[in-house]
Structure formats: structure tokens, C-alpha cells
């Protein structure tokens, strides 16, 4: 089943050209058919429905390897949230840079949109004054023609002041019958002190009892690589225990086929059945690979049937394109981790036990234990029963053999 299929095709063309290619290789785009994320989406929908009623809901964390569709799912959620008239802020974390200017700008937008509403003006005005205090305290440079709210967002402690801002904004959101949704993508990239301040501020929002019968209408969804949860547990105190984690899986074979067939069908293009099966298997259900293989197969010909020979060519070109992602992942590893991965790749899949890999490296599993753990934490390999480990990313092993 397809969660949503937003691409609105006004003119259906049977042309199969590079211009009409519906597939979207790379990261951070909206796929032509977002498949297989119904459970996660339904959970988030329910969470927001409850939050709006003042019921407490845990923050959500979407985790998964690169290319599993974390950003795509976040985009889907934010598009939906906008239609629900939620106040929403999408933060994109980076190693450098400060998220607060973006946060303040977006909160101000939502508040200003209600500033003329006579019924609610008090709490909205107050939230804007708290924002003013924050902007002055941190020199954020968000333009606000208001006096400051004294004693709010002016301590100089980021966690406290951010908490003041979020609480005041949520109170204003409640007064207009909506909720505040904050999403943070690539959360593992966020500098430690900032993440810590954000999590502490969010804890305060959860604890607020300005209305004794209800929680503030606030929802947080973060997304990141598999080790993001460790980072959050490490920094966030009890926050790490509260967060509900969704580990995104590879797409199943039927889902993969849907992701390939639906966009083609919308342009009156069909797949050769056997070739489609072969291609779907090769992607391993890894969404970024599904798009890449789909894209290359589309571009390998011009007929209304994506033929077997065309798929054969795509199997080669798409693999080369994915090499850049594999290489990027490899760059993130240490020398020892790379040695471990190569040793693993040198063994048949069924024999990749800690002992056998260590032996290949001329040592003991104990000596390589922390290297193996680090690779598991980072998501590149996963335990596979009986002391064995397996590669997580489809095609990664072939890449190691090639490189
Ligand atoms: N559920 C899905 N079905 C089909 N394609 C998807 C799905 N999720 C993501 N994609 C596609 O896969 C690629 C990688 O997705 P992205 O969200 O950027 O991954 P991540 O953020 O986990 O690294 C994008 O091109 C996106 O369009
Ligand atoms: Mg992403």
C-alpha cells in the first residue's frame, strides 16, 4: 500500500525520456511513491492527534542507515502536518551552525500569523515577547517590534531560555487550538551542547503544568543514523529512556516492486517481469538504491517497456553511482574498522564469526571486540546470530571487493 502519492500528474505522457524519468536518486527528495512506511506514519499521526488533546506523548526517533528514507518520511509528515495547520519547525542539524535562529524565525512566523486574532492575542503577544527576550539574550537578530518579557528567556542558560520560548509558544498554540511540532533531521550531527540544551528544554515543556488538566501540545520527531540513540541516551538524561524509536527497515520485495512499478505505470511505462524481479532483488530494498536502479533502468531505453537488456545495463551503472555512498560511509570509519570490514568481506557470509574474522586479522576476538562494537553501533554491520556479523547495506560487500 502506498501511504501517499503526492506527485500530481496533470499531463500523462507515454514518452520515456530522461525528462520524464520519475525516479529520484540521491538523498532528501520525495519519492514518486513512498512505500512501506505505513506503520511509522500511522504512529506519528496518532501521536499528533493525542498531543493536540493535551495527552502526553513520547518524542519519536527515526533511526536507520543512510538512504533508508528517514528524511523522506519526515518530509511526508511535515507536509501532512501543514495541512493539519500545525505550527511546525523543521530543523536540519549540522556539525557547524546554530539552530536557534531558524527556530526563532519559524516560531515568529506562526505567532505573527495569529497576532491579529483578538480572541487569542494575549498569549500570542506574550510568546512574541519571550521570543524578543531570547533574541536579545542571544543576539539572534530576529526582528520583533515588541518589548521583552522580563524574567523570561534572559538567563543566558540556553536550555532554560529555549524552554521558556517553547513553553510560551506551546501555550499560544494551545490557545488557538493547534500544536507545535518540531522535527530535527540528522540529529547525530548536532553539536553536543546544543542537543543537550534542546533535550533539556523539551523536558521542561513536557513537565509544564500551566493547565493542570493537560500537557502542552508539543511533539518532537528526530531522525538520525543508528548511533543517534546512543548520543541521545548519553546526553539527554532520562530523555533517552522516554524516546520511542522507529528503526526503519529495508523495503520488502513486494514494496520494492511497488516503488518501481507505480511511478512507471503513471507514465504508461511497463517493466519486463523477470528483469524487474532481478532489479528489485539487487536493490536489497534499500530505498536510495531502489531510486537509483529505477532511474538508470528508465534512462537505459526509450520504449514503453523497460526491457531485460536495459535492466542489465542499469545493474552496472547504478552500482557505480551507489559507490559514492559506500565510499562516503567508509570515509567515516577508522583504519581498524576498515581492516575489520575487509577481513569480513574475505570470508563467506556463513563464517563471519568474531573468532574467524579476528583470526584472519591474526589476532583474537577480544582484541577486535571494540572495533566490531563500533561498527555495529554505527550501523555498518549487524549481529547475525551465532556470533556472526553481516553487512547492513546491500551491495556494500561487493563494493569492498571492488575497492
Ligand atoms: N519509502 C520509500 N519508498 C520509496 N523510495 C523512498 C522511500 N524512502 C525514501 N525513498 C527514496 O530514497 C532516497 C533516500 O531517502 P532519504 O530519505 O534521503 O534517506 P535518509 O534520510 O534515510 O538518508 C530518496 O531518493 C528517497 O526519495
Ligand atoms: Mg536524510
Please check whether residue 155 lies inside any domain of the structure.
yes
236 pLDDT more than 80: no
Please check whether residue 236 lies inside any domain of the structure.
yes
- Enter the DSSP assignment of 369: H
Residues 123, 202 share a domain: yes
Ligand nearest the Cα atom of residue 287: 1
Residues 279, 138 share a domain: no
pLDDT at 120: 64
Domain C-terminal end among 212, 247, 282:
247
- C-alpha closest to that of 190 among 102, 120, 131, 259: 102
Residues 359, 304 share a domain: no
CATH number at residue 84: 3.40.50.300
**CB neighbourhood size of 358 (10 A):** 20
231 pLDDT more than 90: no
* Total domain count, the chain: 3
Decide whether any atom of ligand 1 lies within 6 Å of the 379 Cβ: no
Summarize the chain as % helix, strand, coil (round to 5).
Answer: 50, 10, 35
Please check whether residue 233 lies inside any domain of the structure.
yes
Lowest mean pLDDT among 63-77, 90-104, 345-359: 90-104
| Ligand 1 centroid, distance to 392 Cα (angstroms) | 16
Please report how many Cα atoms fall inside a 13 Å half-sphere around the Cα of residue 330, on the Cβ side. 17
Neighbours of ion ligand 2 (CB under 5 A): 70-71
Residues 190, 99 share a domain: yes
Residues 116, 61 share a domain: yes
Residues 314, 189 share a domain: no
Please give the model's pTM, rounded to 2 decimal places.
0.90
| Ligand 1 centroid, distance to 314 Cα (angstroms) | 19
Please check whether residue 18 lies inside any domain of the structure.
no
Q: What is the per-residue pLDDT across 98-132, written as a single tens digit (0 to 9) for each?
A: 888 899 999 999 998 887 766 667 888 899 889 88
Residues 71, 151 share a domain: yes
Q: What is the per-residue pLDDT across 179-205, written as a single tens digit (0 to 9) for each?
A: 999 999 999 988 888 888 999 999 999
Strand partners, 61: 222, 245
> pLDDT grade, residue 156 (50/70/90)?
confident
Place of cell 511509522: 40
- Enter the DSSP assignment of 353: B
Domain C-terminal end among 267, 298, 330:
330
CATH number at residue 325: 1.10.8
| CA torsion through residues 234, 140, 221, 22, sign | negative
Q: What is the per-residue pLDDT across 248-305, written as a single tens digit (0 to 9) for each?
A: 999 999 999 999 999 999 999 999 999 999 999 999 999 999 999 999 999 999 999 9
Atom of ligand 1 nearest to the CA of 26: 25
Decide whether any atom of ligand 1 lies within 6 Å of the 64 Cβ: yes
From 24, 39, 41, 67, the mutation candidate for ligand 1 (largest count of ligand atoms within 8 A of CB) is: 67
Residues 89, 200 share a domain: yes
Please check whether residue 29 lies inside any domain of the structure.
no
| Ligand 2 centroid, distance to 24 Cα (angstroms) | 14
| Ligand 2 centroid, distance to 92 Cα (angstroms) | 9
Please check whether residue 30 lies inside any domain of the structure.
no
Please check whether residue 105 lies inside any domain of the structure.
yes
Decide whether any atom of ligand 1 lies within 6 Å of the 104 Cβ: no
| Ligand 1 centroid, distance to 286 Cα (angstroms) | 8
Residues of the domain holding 47: 37-247
pLDDT at 76: 96
Mean pLDDT, the chain, rounded, equals 91
Distances (CA, A) of 376 to 56, 59, 94, 349: 33, 24, 23, 16
**Which residue has the CA at smallest separation from atom 9 of ligand 1?**
69
Pair 389, 344: CB distance under 8 Å: yes
Amino acid at each position: 500500500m502506498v501511504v501517499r502519492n503526492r506527485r500530481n500528474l496533470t499531463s500523462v505522457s507515454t514518452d520515456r525520456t530522461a525528462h520524464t524519468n520519475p525516479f529520484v536518486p540521491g538523498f532528501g527528495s520525495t519519492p514518486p511513491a513512498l512505500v512501506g512506511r505505513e506503520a511509522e506514519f500511522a504512529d506519528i499521526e496518532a501521536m499528533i492527534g493525542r498531543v493536540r488533546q493535551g495527552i502526553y506523548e513520547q518524542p519519536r526517533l527515526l533511526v536507520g542507515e543512510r538512504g533508508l528514507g528517514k528524511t523522506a518520511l519526515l518530509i511526508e509528515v511535515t507536509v501532512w502536518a501543514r495541512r493539519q495547520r500545525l505550527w511546525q519547525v523543521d530543523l536540519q542539524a549540522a556539525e557547524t551552525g546554530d539552530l536557534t535562529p531558524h527556530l526563532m524565525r519559524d516560531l515568529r512566523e506562526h505567532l505573527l500569523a495569529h497576532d491579529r486574532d483578538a480572541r487569542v492575542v494575549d498569549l500570542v503577544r506574550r510568546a512574541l515577547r519571550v521570543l524578543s527576550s531570547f533574541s536579545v539574550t542571544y543576539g539572534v537578530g530576529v526582528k520583533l517590534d515588541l518589548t521583552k518579557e522580563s524574567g523570561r528567556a534572559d538567563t543566558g542558560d540556553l536550555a532554560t531560555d529555549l524552554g521558556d520560548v517553547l513553553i510560551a509558544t506551546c501555550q499560544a498554540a494551545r490557545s488557538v487550538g493547534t500544536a507545535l511540532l518540531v522535527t530535527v533531521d540528522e540529529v547525530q550531527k548536532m553539536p553536543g551542547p546544543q542537543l543537550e540544551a534542546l533535550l533539556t528544554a523539551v523536558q521542561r515543556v513536557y513537565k509544564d503544568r500551566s493547565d493542570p488538566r493537560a500537557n502542552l501540545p508539543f511533539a518532537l520527531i528526530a531522525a538520525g543514523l543508528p548511533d543517534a540513540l546512543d548520543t541521545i541516551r548519553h546526553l539527554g538524561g532520562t530523555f533517552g529512556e522516554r524516546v520511542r524509536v522507529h528503526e526503519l527497515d529495508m523495503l520488502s520485495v513486494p514494496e520494492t516492486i511497488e516503488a518501481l512499478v507505480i511511478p512507471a505505470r503513471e507514465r504508461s511505462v511497463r517493466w519486463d517481469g523477470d528483469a524487474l524481479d532481478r532489479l528489485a532483488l539487487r536493490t536489497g530494498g534499500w530505498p536510495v538504491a531502489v531510486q537509483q536502479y529505477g532511474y538508470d533502468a528508465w534512462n537505459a531505453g526509450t520504449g514503453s517497456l523497460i526491457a531485460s537488456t536495459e535492466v542489465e545495463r542499469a545493474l552496472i551503472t547504478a552500482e557505480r553511482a551507489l559507490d559514492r555512498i559506500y565510499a562516503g560511509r567508509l570515509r567515516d570509519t577508522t583504519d581498524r574498522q576498515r581492516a575489520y570490514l575487509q577481513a569480513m568481506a574475505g570470508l563467506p557470509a556463513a563464517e563471519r564469526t568474531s573468532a574467524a574474522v579476528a583470526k584472519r586479522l591474526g589476532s583474537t576476538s577480544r582484541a577486535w571486540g571494540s572495533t566490531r562494537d563500533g561498527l555495529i553501533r554505527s550501523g555498518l554491520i549487524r549481529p547475525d546470530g551465532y556470533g556472526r556479523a553481516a553487512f547492513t547495506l546491500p551491495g556494500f560487500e561487493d563494493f569492498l571487493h571492488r575497492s
